Structure 1
Amino acid sequence: MSSSFRDLVFPKSFEYTTDGQNLPIEFYLDVIPLSKSIHLKLGYFSSKALRLLSCALAQFIYRGGTLNIVSNHFVYGEDRALFSEDSLLSEELDLKNLVHIKSALTTSEEHFFNCLKYLRKQGRLRIVPVMLKPARMTHFKQGVFTDHFDNEIFMDGSCNFTANGLLENAETLSVFRLWASTFEQSKGQGKKSEIEAILNKENGQYRYLDESQLLDAVETLGEDKSLVELLANEAKLLEASSDKFFNISRKLKEAAANLEKQIEEYNETPRFPFETGPREYQKEAYSNWKQNDFKGIFLMATGTGKTITALNCLLNIYEMEGYYQSVILVPGKTLLKQWIGEAKSFNFRNIIPCSSEFKTWEQDLNKLQSNLRFNKKKSFVLITTYTTFSSEKFQRYFTKIPSPALLIADEAHAFGSPKLKTILEKLHIERRIALSATIKRQFDEDGNQAIEHAFNSRHPYTYNFPMSKAIQEGVLCKYDYFPHFVQLNEQENEEYYATSKELLKYFDFETNRFKDSEYVQMLLIKRKRIIHKAEDKLRVFKSILAKHKAKYKTLSFSFVYAPEGDYESEDTEQKNILDEFIRVYETNYPNYKAHAFTGKTESRDLTMQHFQNGIIDTLFSMKCLDEGVDVPRTELAIFCASSGNPRQFVQRRGRVLRKHKDKHVALIHDMVVIPPPPSDPDTFRFERKILKDEIVRVVYFASLARNYSNVMSLFEPICKQYQIDLYGLQDEIEDFQ
């Protein structure tokens, strides 16, 4: 297919006539698909002319074309809606999907009009009815067509832009190329500006009409061709003896065949999944990555579209080179499935998932290697978990992947682990993207340096999109943050301080680190369990639910991060903590539906769908919502426990802040265990260090919340008691970013 007006073959006379070999409809069918803008200065106009040209019009709309029409004051009955502001279509149509556009233009009259109404709403269809002053009818048949290379054609003739005018009347149409001879240029010079002036109601020779001033064209001209006559009755055209009808039918079939060819190419071509295209920050990320020799770390807040940003880089590679090859690494099976969905949304093909869940992955990689021997530019997208990626089986295939491929490492902090770090150091793939909301590994500077070296990026990294910026730009929603103090009971307090005093023997205040031993690790786990399992959390949990229900009249669209493990007692049997939190919820609110979301949950996708649809009101989890699970509908989150790792809190908060059309602000409740200050000076000093780390986390959470001042005032008495400078924690807060 031609891409420019200059590629078209026009009649030698540059005339299209009803009684000749080149019909007026042929001009429109050839020129409309290549046009970027069309400016028509008409007398009579009928939408059925557009319907007749629907195969050409579909390609014009898909490529972003704008149609501008000046018409007279006669309107066909069904077209009146196109002149009314009240009838503009409110629903969204995907104008980047050629299949959807074709369906809208050709399946039914209602769909066709909906498409035209939506084009009007989007500013891509303008129709301005006019009369020449004082009250003269306009009867022009002119137009200026502009292609995507700014070549222009001026059209002039006798042919009304109606179905009758294109099909039955004896008409003529002349073409002037504005890049050709001086004569042709002079014919069309200034015509586009003249039409624009009328469209903008700047030409004083015209009266600009509203809907109430339009007259019924049927009374003057009779009915224009019906849909059945235009499209469904081609057999009648073929049977007609006239060459004219045969040629019309032939040209319509050629246009339909060309559209089907375009749709076939469309179905095979990768593209950005949203009509609006990538956001500015996603374009900036690609630009920075390209300038950094196609390597880099994208440090992006959870919920800001890291996946889309990385796949947009792969799309840009395809647009440069005509093919794509990528290996994508993810932490687990849930994220693997999400990446498959996102890759499909870009229309990438030959997606090969590799994990224990996909039993044929070795066969698929064998087949891929065979294809690559014959075609080094074979497109593919491999998506695998870090566990499978690090296996000897996968590495045998991976080392043969072409080096120009793109490696995308999601949650790339995982690459710092000893086994993966060894692979990272020998990586042969040249193009690399590391994605993370929290790239720094806690207490692992060697791992951090290995990641930064492999991806050729150091702080502030190739692209940095922090949560503060995401909230400010409306990518994530605003939130209120409510910390709640949890007290240890007498037994928990005794166990806690006994453990702390033992740990104190192995703590170096100069390095702020514990001695490396299994015994220390055992004590740290024991103390963490005391904090996790504090019984007072159930009381605080009930209080949060009661106050929220009283204020907002609902508990829907909430999720709870519950502590792990079991409650243990000498008098009673063990009770699972997650189950106890669910029991408290269901006992107090029997009309609300709660559901656990853990590694053992069956039909996880269905469970999440029920939550999004409001069938399940509240989800209870421990860790399963930490990485890769999208819960944009969540309005209320209650954090009852955490690992103490900054990454976990940052990711959890990002999940809550994802945007949803029915959500305006998120509410986050956070349980903070505050042991009473010990009297022993050394233990106090030790506990002060532990509490300070926790308060740093709280202050960071509060720093971006709408109620920052309230949170800070809440912690002032505690910080004073523990001799902590609450407003001087900025350096420590930066570790969370």
Structure 2
Amino acid sequence: MAILANLQLKQTYHKPEDNIAQAFYLPCMAAAHTYDRAVGYFSSAIYALAWPSLREFVDNGGRIRLICSPVLSEGDVSAMTAGYAARNEEAQGNLLKEEFRQLLTTPGSVKPAKVLASLVALKIIDIRIAWVGDVAGGKPKRLFHDKVGIFEDVEGNAVAFKGSMNETWPGLALDGNLESVDVYLSWVGSREQARVAEEQAYFNRLWENHFPDVTTVPLPEVARDALVTASDPEHWRELVEEICIEIQAAEGWSPEAKPGGRVPRPHQVAALDAWKARGRRGIFEHATGSGKTFTALCAIKDSFSHKEVVLVLVPSDLLLRQWAAELRSTFDPVGIRLLVCGGGHIDWKEDGRLRAWTRAGAGAPRLVLATMQTASSPEFIQACRGGRHLFVVADEVHRLGALQARRILQLDTGPRLGLSATPVRSGDPTGTAAIFDYFEGVVPPPFTLNDAIRAGTLTPYAYNVHRVRLDTDEQEEWNRLAKEIRRQVARSIGAKTADVDAETRLKMLLIRRARIIKNARQKVSAAVSIVTSTYRRGQHWIVYCDDQVQLAAVRDALRSAGCEAIFEYHTAMGGDPRRTLDLFEAQGGIVVSIRCLDEGVDIPAVSHALILASSKNPREFIQRRGRVLRKSPTKLISNVYDVLVTPLFDPDEPPAVAILEGELARAIEFGSHAINPGCITDLQRLAIEHGMDWERVVNAGIEDDDDNKEEHD
């Protein structure tokens, strides 16, 4: 039997330079007799096990102690503050039981959850739940989220490690779940020995509930019973074997050949396997933030093995730059040749370059990256050589349903892959059908927002609705326009022939009235109230505005209220937008933005979103929500604040009802997936009051392709 002192261990490990799992984590687990670990969330406990070494560890008589926290909603915190749920073991247990139930229903976590349950049933793993604050006294401060681990062998040698932990699917993969760790050895010098002893004493005090301001309790019986019921003590070894095989399969899809490179998560592997089984055609309908780009990189790596030429299509210049950086970073080691088309890159037009680039043939892997606007031009389509050798990847594939972009769908290709969180185009069945016919539908099953939250790829979030009214003069103008709209509608109905001018006037009246909602003055005062009462220094907020006028009003109002670190981000801004985001990420603050953050911008540190913008396109607010739900070591739960304008109107007037439906559609979609779904009860009541079809409200929406105006050659 190996012992820890015989291992050659470094003082620190950093990914990606070090393969932390192979060099540190797995050897320590195999040589250890006990393993103490603080893992953060209860649901992340399944990722705390070094799977390829787990059987050896258990065979050595190994025992594991885990300290973790449950996910808390605002309602849970409120109940704890009142001193109720904290003293009710059953309430805590039911919360943990629900977390475990979600693990058992989430692809990729079912088998690890069953292994965890089996080892708990066999008393190999003991779990305690930790709360920071005097919980019994009703003063919870924050979740316990420490990051420490201690291995010890039969001879008393111990290894303590601390550092950034990422308890997610990559923790099951051989690249390990530790991004960077400092390591301390009990047998190397008095200082190291003292540090290990200090961490051991710290963990033991936590475990025994003797550490100040931390309450540690045994796993409640109702949660333990749920684990034992789901356990399979006789077959856990077979489950571990299957997990290890799945890890190896994931490595086979990885686009990164370097040691410790990224590997796809279970939902990505399942999607890639299903796509391959369908003849390598289909659309990945995966939630924003679930790793669609990386999934596509895996498919592109596979395409290279088929000697294919890859054509990647993106909807904007911003995504063009991001994809170019991602492709070069991932595939430069294999010597790719990349031709960028659009976004100011015009050399593809010279000397038949695009035609030569897209020809069939061997040689270095070739990639063409183009904006959809450029790729839909007759010049591009005529120069691009189609055929079975051409693999098309379309990011934000729903954009290909727009009238001009549909020209791209005449390209003759082999494999096809579309990416979108929402591939169905709202109010555009023709465009949707064109996309689905070309890519041959969605690869089942979709990976939904709830799937992503359960799998740990997105953070859970709380949703907070703030309803505001129109000011008196705004309401009066609303009423005046409503009367004029009714007159125009009546004239149109009574007319014997179509009147183009009348239709234009009606459209303009509807736009003017909708603009009253978009620019309602109380939105600005609501934004100031929410930010000044909630924002704390160092947080990362995004405030979504409708237009430049509203953005300026919100920016100036926040500054007048004493808010600091206010940033702007929009297409008309001066300076370097990327540097603005870099500064924002580094120091925190409030970004006041228009719609250009909707697609493709990745700012994981954002923890709060305030939505002032009104939109009838569900895709826009789904993408806005995705910006704030991305995983980051600096946040546990995200927060979405939504300012909802509810004007007074006659419910018998269909156009006015449609205005409110657009607002409610956003709120209902947000609230339905939040950790506090009761937040939309009042909205349901509001819809009923106005005689709305509740189910139809959720699906209300109109597709908007205006963003394409921002793209250019």
Partners of 2:668 and 2:683 within 8 A in 1: no
Work out whether 1:557 is the aligned partner of 2:540: yes
What CA distance in whole angstroms lies between the structure 2 residues aligned with 1:368 and 1:200?
61
User: For residue 360 of structure 1, what is the aligned residue in structure 2?
Assistant: 347
The match for 1:673 among 632, 645, 649 is: 645
Deviation at 1:706, TM superposition (A): 1.2
Q: From 557, 581, 587, give the equivalent of 1:608.
A: 581
Aligned pairs for 1:513-532 (under 5 A) are: 517-532=503-518
Which of 338, 347, 364 is the equivalent residue of 1:351?
338
Find the counterpart in structure 1 of residue 95 from structure 2. Answer: none
Query: Given that residues 664 and 698 in structure 2 are in contact (C-alpha distance below 8 angstroms), is that contact kept between their aligned partners in structure 1?
Result: no
Kindly state the Cα deviation for residue 669 of structure 1 after the two structures are TM-superposed: 0.8
Query: 1:431-450 residue pairs with structure 2 within 5 A?
Result: 431-450=415-434
Residue of structure 2 in register with 1:500 after alignment: 482
Q: Is the 8 A contact 1:674 1:691 kept in 2?
A: yes
Helix, strand or coil at the partner of 2:596: coil
Residues 530, 735 of structure 1: alpha-carbon distance in 2 compared, 3 angstrom cutoff: closer
Instruction: State whether residues 372 and 378 of structure 1, in contact with CA within 8 Å, keep that contact through their aligned partners in structure 2.
Output: no
Which consecutive residues of structure 1, in runs of 5 or more, have no partner in the other structure?
1-68, 72-78, 102-114, 130-195, 218-268, 566-575
Query: What fraction of aligned residue pairs are identical, expressed as a percent?
Result: 27
3-state SS in 2 of match to 1:347: helix
Q: Offset at 1:690?
A: 3.5
SS in 2 for 1:624: helix
**1:426-460 CA deviation, whole Å, 9 max, x = no partner?**
220121111111212222211111111111115xx
Cα separation, 1, equivalents of 2:57 and 2:590: 58
Change in Cα spacing, 1:352 to 1:210, as seen in structure 2 (3 Å) is same
CA distance in 2: counterparts of 1:515 and 1:613, whole angstroms: 57
Question: What is the match of residue 293 of structure 2?
Answer: 307
Instruction: Give the letter for the 1:596 counterpart.
Output: E
Asked whether the 8 Å contact 2:463–2:679 carries over to 1, the reply is: no
RMSD value, Cα: 3.7
Q: 1:595 to 1:406 in 2, by over 3 A?
A: same
Checking the alignment, whether the CA contact within 8 Å between 1:442 and 1:645 is kept in structure 2 is yes
Tell me the CA shift for residue 270 of structure 1.
Answer: 5.4
Paired residue for 1:133? none
Partner residue in 1 for 2:436: 452
Question: In the alignment, does 2:400 pair up with 1:478?
Answer: no
Question: Secondary structure in 1 aligned to 2:27?
Answer: coil
Alignment CA distance shift 1:93-1:437 (3 Å): closer
Residue 734 to residue 289, structure 1, CA distance change in 2 (3 Å): farther
Matches within 5 A, 1:294-333: 294-318=280-304, 320-321=305-306, 323-333=307-317
Q: Which position in structure 2 is the counterpart of 1:405?
A: 390
- The alignment partner of 2:331 has SS state of coil
- SS of the residue 2:624 aligns to: helix
CA spacing shift, 1:273–1:667, aligned 2, 3 Å: farther
Question: Matches of 1:127 and 1:719 in 2, distance apart?
Answer: 62
Q: Is the 8 A contact 1:119 1:125 kept in 2?
A: no
Contact 1:376 1:402 in 2 (8 A): no
The aligned counterpart of 1:394 is 380
The whole-number CA distance in structure 2 between the counterparts of 1:682 and 1:198 is: 69
2:24 to 99, 113, 120: 120
CA 1:293 to 1:384, structure 2 compared with 1: closer, same or farther past 3 Å? same
State the one-letter code of the partner of 1:413.
Answer: H
**SS of residue paired to 2:339:** strand
8 Å CA contact retained: 1:298, 1:434: yes
User: Offset of 1:215 from its aligned partner?
Assistant: 14
Matches within 5 A, 1:26-37: none
Output the amino acid matched with 1:209.
Answer: E
Following superposition, the deviation at residue 717 of structure 1 comes to: 5.2
Q: CA deviation at 1:536?
A: 1.1
Amino acid at match of 2:617: N
Quote the residue 2:78 is aligned against.
none
Q: Provide the rounded CA distance (Å) in 2 between the counterparts of 1:345 and 1:666.
A: 30
Q: Note closer, same or farther for the CA distance 1:415–1:506 as it changes in structure 2 (3 Å cut).
A: farther
Output the CA distance in 1 between the equivalents of 2:377 and 2:331: 29
Distance 2:471 2:32 in 1: 77
Q: CA deviation at 1:677?
A: 3.4
One-letter code aligned to 2:686: I
Does 1 or 2 have the higher relative contact order (CA < 8 Å, sep 6+)? 2
Determine whether 1:586 maps to 2:559. Answer: yes
* Change over 3 Å in CA distance of 1:355–1:293 after alignment to 2: same
CA contact (8 A) 2:665 2:699 kept: no
Q: Choose 1 or 2 for highest CA Rg.
A: 1
Q: Tell me which amino acid in the other structure corresponds to 2:473.
A: Q
Contact 2:398 2:435 in 1 (8 A): yes
Would you say the 8 A contact 2:466–2:641 is kept in 1?
yes
Say if 1:642 and 1:648, in contact at 8 Å, map to a contact too. Answer: no
Distance 1:594 1:457, change over 3 A: same
Mapped pair 1:663 → 2:635: yes
Give the SS at the match of 1:403.
coil
Superposed displacement of residue 724, structure 1 = 4.1
Deviations 1:613-643 (A, max 9, x none): 11x5111111110111112111111111123
What per-residue deviation string (whole Å, max 9, x for no partner) do you get for residues 79-99 of structure 1? 95848xxx87564333xx6xx
**Aligned partner of 1:630 among 602, 606, 625:** 602
2:412 is matched with which residue? 428
The equivalent residue for 1:733 is: 698
- The equivalences for 1:123-522 within 5 A come to 123=27, 200=60, 209-211=155-157, 271=257, 275=261, 277-318=263-304, 320-321=305-306, 323-347=307-331, 349-363=336-350, 366-367=352-353, 369-370=355-356, 375-376=361-362, 378-398=364-384, 400-424=385-409, 426-457=410-441, 461-504=443-486, 505-506=488-489, 517-522=503-508
Matches within 5 A, 1:83-98: 91-94=13-16
CA contact (8 A) 2:381 2:411 kept: no
- Structure 2 residue runs of 5 or longer lacking an equivalent are 34-55, 63-152, 159-184, 189-254, 703-713
**1:652 corresponds to:** 624
Q: What SS is found at the alignment partner of 2:431?
A: helix
- In 2, distance between residues paired with 1:653 and 1:272? 34
State the match for 1:595 in structure 2. 567
**Measured at CA, do residues 376 and 735 of structure 1 come closer, stay the same or move farther in structure 2, by a change above 3 Å?**
farther
Tell me the secondary structure at the aligned position of residue 358 of structure 1: coil
CA shift in 2, pair 1:474/1:705, >3 Å? same
Shift of 1:563: 2.4
Name the CA distance, whole Å, in 1 between partners of 2:627 and 2:468: 24
1:676-715 mapped onto 2 (5 Å cutoff): 676-678=648-650, 682-683=652-653, 686-712=655-681, 714-715=682-683
Aligned partner of 2:98 in structure 1 is none
> In the TM superposition, what whole-angstrom CA distance separates every residue of 1:195-242 from its partner, at most 9, and x where no partner exists?
x8999489xxxx963449x9999xxxxxxxxxxxxxxxxxxxxxxxxx
Find the residue that maps to 1:706 and give its secondary structure: coil
Which deviations, in whole Å up to 9, do the C-alpha atoms of 1:657-684 show, x marking residues without a partner? 1110111111111111101233xx743x
Letter in 1 for 2:449: M
Question: Aligned partner of 2:678: which letter?
Answer: S
Instruction: Specify the code of the residue in structure 1 equivalent to 2:466.
Output: H
1:354 and 1:383 in contact (8 A); partners too: yes
1:197–1:421 CA distance, 2 compared to 1 (3 A): closer
Name the structure 2 match of 1:163: none
SS of the counterpart of 1:464? coil
1:417 partner letter: A
